[in-house]
Amino acid sequence: MIRLLLIVLLALLIGTGLSMGLQYDLGYIRISLGHYLIETNFWVGVALLVALVALIMVSVGLFRRFRQSTGVVAGWLARGNERRARRRTTQGLLALAEGNWPRARKLLTSSANNADTPLINYLAAAQASFESGDHEAVDELLRLAFESTPGSDMAVGITQAQLQLAGNRLEQALATLVRLRKQSPHHPFVLKLLKNTYLRLEAWRELSKLLPELRKRNVLPDEELHDLQRLVWHNLLEDAAEDCRRQRKEDPNASLEPLTRLWDALPGFLRRDEHTIRTTPDCWPTWAKRPRPKPCYARY
């Protein structure tokens, strides 16, 4: 209330001053600019100046409001894009589960930029491209997945290795898994995929080196690990037997030292395994064809 009275009083004072000024002297203003000449009295010039200042202030205020409203509109549009991306991502994952590979890839890639988790979109789209047989698109989508999310190297690499194995690209899968193992030497799933790759490549020597790590990290159930050990060493024995026969044909007195080293590396339970003993090569020494007696301290 007091503020309103002050404003009214100030307006009355300004009005009184202006009326007295107009009665006293109108004044004169002349502005020359090039070929233009502006002439008016002082009070009209003051009024024009005040009007100009007021116009500038109103324009600045409108511009600020416009910027604020533009930000609100932009935020609303961004939220709309995110909602559509989530909906299209869900539709793409459903299409992937249904086996509609082209639709899944289209929906997942088109919504990746506005998705909450673009990594999921690109990895799923890579799966759809693989199922469609487009391996070039798979590599490109995996690259986009890696670039979309910092720290996703392991997830992208594992997906890449799985797709390479599924596509029977064993050498590429091996290179990918070796790289991943350097980054994370004890990663259980990487070890399991590496085991599957060596198994399909029949790389028995490398697989035998991997067996202790598989056992230490509990990657496989005991029974499966036991069977895998038997398979690996059985094939190593078979390979050694073939080398043995070839060397004996060339030289009947060829040294058996490589074979004895292999027998010494054989796990103890396999030396007592009937199947392993039964398949021991004929060219092996006679002491290697029967199980060695347990030392008296073995039970400790």
Q: Distance between CA atoms of 160 and 139, rounded to whole angstroms? A: 8
pTM value?
0.65
Q: Distance between CA atoms of 111 and 88, rounded to whole angstroms? A: 6
Per-residue pLDDT, 236: 86
Q: Distance between CA atoms of 264 and 257, rounded to whole angstroms? A: 11
Burial 69-98 (b: 16+ CB within 10 A, else e): eeeeeeeeeeeeeeeebeebbebbbebbee
Per-residue pLDDT, 18: 59
pLDDT, one tens digit for every residue, the chain (300 residues): 677 677 666 666 666 665 665 555 556 666 777 777 777 766 667 677 777 888 888 888 777 776 765 555 555 555 777 888 889 999 999 999 999 999 999 999 999 988 888 999 999 999 999 999 988 899 999 999 999 999 999 999 999 999 999 999 999 999 999 999 999 999 999 999 999 999 999 999 999 999 999 999 999 999 999 899 989 988 888 887 777 777 777 777 766 666 777 777 777 777 777 666 665 555 554 444 444 433 333 332
Which phi and psi (to 5°) does residue 95 adopt? -65, -35
Per-residue pLDDT, 20: 60
What HEC string does 144-209 produce?
HHHHHCCCCHHHHHHHHHHHHHHCCCHHHHHHHHHHHHHHCCCCHHHHHHHHHHHHHHCCHHHHHH
Amino acid letter for position 224: E
